Structure 1
Amino acid sequence: MSPIRGIKKLPISIPVTDATKLLILLNEVSNKLGRLDERFKYSLLGTELINTLSLNESVQSTRIEGTQVTFIEMVEQAHKKSTAPKIHEVDNYRKALNYGYEQIRNGYPISTRLILELHEILMENSRGTTEGSGEFRRIQNFIGPNNKIEDASYIPIEANEIPDYLNNWENFINKHPYGQKLSTDHLEKENTFIIDENSPALLKVAIMHAQFESIHPFLDGNGRLGRILIALYTVQSDLIASPIFFVSEELEKQRFKYYHFLNSTRGNNASWTQWIEFFLEASNRMADKLNLLLETAEKIAFDGLKKCEKEVQKNVYLLSFRYPKTNAIEMAQALNISPSTARQALNFLVENQLLYKDDQSKRNVAYYNYDITQLIQS
């Protein structure tokens, strides 16, 4: 079978008969995200959980690429220096995610410039092809089971076409700076529903991710960067105020379907319905999980706070949801208190079975919040 070659530009269209089903699903997911956003804004643990959830996202996204590392392994890496490439990949992902969020929060939209900056962060000391880090590829690449282009499942656009396609992609995301509509000349108009730059944000998230993966602008790191862009665009488009809506966990569970449906959006006979439905269903499951996770974590935290006698104990306990593995020095720095005060509070929490202490260590003793680590992994 010949490989699929290239992609059409955005926007896209789907059969009218498919649109109703997708719009019903879209409404369901949007309502759940609205509830999650509202709950998170007023949550006791809102800001504390961002760090923990982003760590889990970093793990899940890199696992899709075959990096064998777990959430617990990354928690254990806190306060340790590691030269393991897999640890660097997860750390780089989280750094890029956090950097991107800061840029969005400061009013800078997703753009070609931001993509290049994120890619450079993502590829630092990483495995794979680090040549061309922060630069678009200058040669043809392909996706396939081996290093033979004739066996490829997909051959992306040529390198000299990348700027033009990314400009089209960027205008789809952000709309044209002068209000110019994207051309629909390449689309079938009869009995179709066009999803363009004015469509609901969650539909655009699904499409912008698939299109970015298909442009495949870098020699390596396209998948990880594409999944970072999902999280960033949900914030940029005001779907959710904080970077907590991550779908990589659900995509990782069904990675073969994920790649299969991505491939169906490519070539001259692209079919977008199955990909959009797959993405919305993954988002729906993730919205359910995050709503339940936040509800459960808040209950755990409220029950734990009832056992605390002093304000400093409460502050240390809540901060342990951000740092599931911590020590007295980290808590002292975070809360601007002395290490001895932090240590006393941590030991109080251990005595009341809210945290657990590593009794094997003699220096920089580690304390664990197992409740949140178990919840994240459930």
Structure 2
Amino acid sequence: MKKERAGKSVKQLSGKLAYYSFHPSKLPPIPEIEIDSELTEKLIKAYRVLAILDDRAMHIPNIDLFISMYVQKEALLSSQIEGTQATLEDIFNPNISENINLDVDDVINYIKATKYAIQRLDTLPLCSRLLLETHEVLLSGVRGREKNPGEFRKSQNWIGGAGSTIKTARYIPPDVIYMQEALSDLEKYINTDGGLDDLIKIALIHYQFETIHPFLDGNGRVGRLLIVLYLLEKKVIKTPSLYLSFYLKENRIEYYDRMTAVRESGDYEQWVKFFIEGIYVSGQSAIETADELIALRNSNLERLEAENYTKRTHETMIKVFGYLEAHPIIEIGKTAKDLSLSYNTVASAVSRFEALGTLSLVNKQDRNKVYSYNDYISILRSGTELVAQ
């Protein structure tokens, strides 16, 4: 395998200031991707699980709600890969707008950027303009806002640990001029039909985007969002319910090492196999999550039906339950306002949900009591737990 199949290192500056940046080759790779029996089997498994996931989505009573919850989990996981210290409970906090927390703000912006990008696909193809607009939403008003939100970089960047310099960097992306050329080539490749299978193609596109590293900040998050945007545009998936960040977070070191191996040896095949295994694992996880949420919903509705409530009380309970599925941590006053119900009406419904075991009290601050729908959060929490540093 030719060492320069994936690109080459190019000397920048001279003397003591000299360094080498990496100039990636155009896609698709030459020689072309070898599709052996192992890769074929991984593709078959991945497509099978995606078909099941799409079928499951058709049977979820409120698919938009499920997707919204999943987007929030994905935003958290993708941000955690970048070192953000936030939890699922932080994201669901009913008083989130009053709490100044930069980590949580990063995740909230990622949620906004994801929803924006998915909606924008209705009016714009997957292109540099869409990525720039998404990047602007991602970084506006949070950490990184000084890193030119909505603009490709105009200076050299590099990847390394905290305090690293261009001399100690783990990886140095292409210089600005070559970056612009590489981005143009990538945009054409994204929008060229035919050739490789779409799952292989998005594996290559994600790798190429991360290798080009076109932003001063937010490359990882935009690059992971690019995966679902591509699969949606190519109609590989029907709903945005497949996200790879859980898999990539669990295999973070391998994730970076396998991309590095492409640059160093031109071995795209090992990266593609790793990535498509991630599609399969992530699809399986999404199916299991959907099944658990459907089962939990049905169980709770059956318990509500079994109670001997008056018609009016039953209607209120159903209304509050619907709110819980969108806001699994609630504060009575805010819930009452959002549902246009009286404080006492919501308080009574919450007490009944407590008695049923659906809600648990989180704090006891008089009229600002906060309650948690623990079973629901428990299903979504998997993989989002913070590991002690």
**Residue matched to 1:73:** 90
**Residue matched to 1:167:** 184
Q: CA deviation at 1:325?
A: 1.0
1:255 to 252, 256, 275: 252
TM-score by length of 2: 0.83
**Residue matched to 2:378:** 374
1:305 pairs with 2:322: no
**Residue matched to 2:236:** 239
| Structure 1 unmatched ranges of 5 or more | 177-196
Q: How does 1:131-280 map to 2 (within 5 A)?
A: 131-145=147-161, 146-175=163-192, 197-266=194-263, 269-280=265-276
Provide closer, same or farther for how the CA distance between residues 71 and 153 of structure 1 changes in structure 2, counting only shifts above 3 A: same
1:320 pairs with 2:316: no
1:113 pairs with 2:110: no
| 1:55 aligned counterpart, secondary structure | helix
1:287 to 275, 283, 289: 283
| Structure 2 unmatched ranges of 5 or more | 1-8, 10-18, 306-313, 383-389
The CA distance in 2 between the partners of 1:73 and 1:137, in whole Å, is 32
The CA distance in 2 between the partners of 1:139 and 1:359, in whole Å, is 49
The CA distance in 1 between the partners of 2:297 and 2:171, in whole Å, is 48
**Residues 3 and 152 in structure 1, CA contact (< 8 A), matched pair in contact too:** no
Provide closer, same or farther for how the CA distance between residues 361 and 50 of structure 1 changes in structure 2, counting only shifts above 3 A: farther
Identity of aligned residues (%): 29
**Residue matched to 1:23:** 40
- Cα distance per residue 1:298-332 (max 9 Å; x no partner): 11111100122424423432332221112345545
Provide closer, same or farther for how the CA distance between residues 133 and 80 of structure 1 changes in structure 2, counting only shifts above 3 A: closer
**Residue matched to 2:143:** 127
Provide closer, same or farther for how the CA distance between residues 147 and 128 of structure 1 changes in structure 2, counting only shifts above 3 A: farther
Instruction: Give the residue type in structure 2 aligned to 1:228.
Output: L
1:97 to 106, 114, 117: 114
Q: CA deviation at 1:89?
A: 1.1
Compute the RMSD of aligned alpha carbons.
2.5
Which stretch of the first structure deviates more once superposed, 333-342 or 241-250?
333-342
- Cα distance per residue 1:203-230 (max 9 Å; x no partner): 2221111111011101111111111112
The CA distance in 1 between the partners of 2:362 and 2:32, in whole Å, is 59
Q: CA deviation at 1:101?
A: 1.2
Length, aligned pairs only: 356
Instruction: Give the residue type in structure 2 aligned to 1:135.
Output: E
**Residues 33 and 268 in structure 2, CA contact (< 8 A), matched pair in contact too:** no
**Residues 52 and 323 in structure 1, CA contact (< 8 A), matched pair in contact too:** no
1:55 pairs with 2:51: no
Q: CA deviation at 1:363?
A: 2.8
Q: CA deviation at 1:122?
A: 1.3
TM-score by length of 1: 0.85
- Cα distance per residue 1:169-228 (max 9 Å; x no partner): 12222227xxxxxxxxxxxxxxxxxxxx54332222211111110111011111111111
Q: CA deviation at 1:149?
A: 2.3
Provide closer, same or farther for how the CA distance between residues 335 and 206 of structure 1 changes in structure 2, counting only shifts above 3 A: farther
Which stretch of the first structure deviates more once superposed, 36-45 or 298-307?
36-45
The CA distance in 2 between the partners of 1:239 and 1:323, in whole Å, is 30
The CA distance in 2 between the partners of 1:39 and 1:113, in whole Å, is 33
The CA distance in 2 between the partners of 1:20 and 1:7, in whole Å, is 28
